[in-house]
Amino acid sequence: MSQPQHTPWWKLVLLWSFFAAVATSLAIGWFRTEHLPTKWIVAIFFSLCGGFLIFSLIHDWRQERRLRRLLHGRESLDPETFGARFFSDVPRGPEVATAVRQLLDEHRQRELGGLRPEDPLDHLQDWIDPFFLDELARRLGFAPPENWTEFRDLIEPQKTVRDLVNALARKLTQG
């Protein structure tokens, strides 16, 4: 399994720039006004923004940690081996599984070599989105979902990676 990627330098610069701007605005808003309700409005607004920022950072960190724990210690398989080993019994299964794994690797910007068919999609929830399916449809040559309802109808019943690959393979063989 590949090592977790570090946050790119530009994201850290952006994060600290935002933090500095918020702190500066809070200080200016707090000290430049004598009107007490205005001070409270400024404090509440920036507290909410800071809380949301902290929540999103913790959420992303926990998602990444959860995925790392799931994949830890497993044999690392390249996308082609993943498709051939686990989906050779499904018509067009190896092709679909390989494309799914390659696209997940690209979207995650790291190799998911330990991914297995029984792994829940919950661990990949932020990456299985309409853009993901559009790109997959372009690569495999099937019609992507036209609207949110079609996307939801396709994705909601899928609980594992195997379910997703089987559903997409069925979609490919049916038309």
- The domain ranges of the chain are 9-71, 79-174
pTM over 0.75: no
Q: From CA 151, how far away is CA 94, in angstroms rounded? A: 23
Asked if 121 and 128 count as a contact pair (C-beta separation under 8 A), the reply is: yes
Residue in the structure block whose two tokens are 């995925």:
67
- Residues 125-164 pLDDT 10s: 667 888 888 899 999 988 888 888 988 888 889 899 999 9
Q: Residue 4 above 60 pLDDT?
A: no
Other beta carbons less than 10 A from residue 155's beta carbon: 19
Q: Residue 66 above 60 pLDDT?
A: yes
Q: Residue 43: which residues within 8 A CB-CB, separation 6 or more?
A: 26, 30
Closest CA to 121 of 175, 75, 157, 174: 157
Question: Alpha helix (H) ranges present in 8-120?
Answer: 9-31, 36-71, 79-87, 93-108
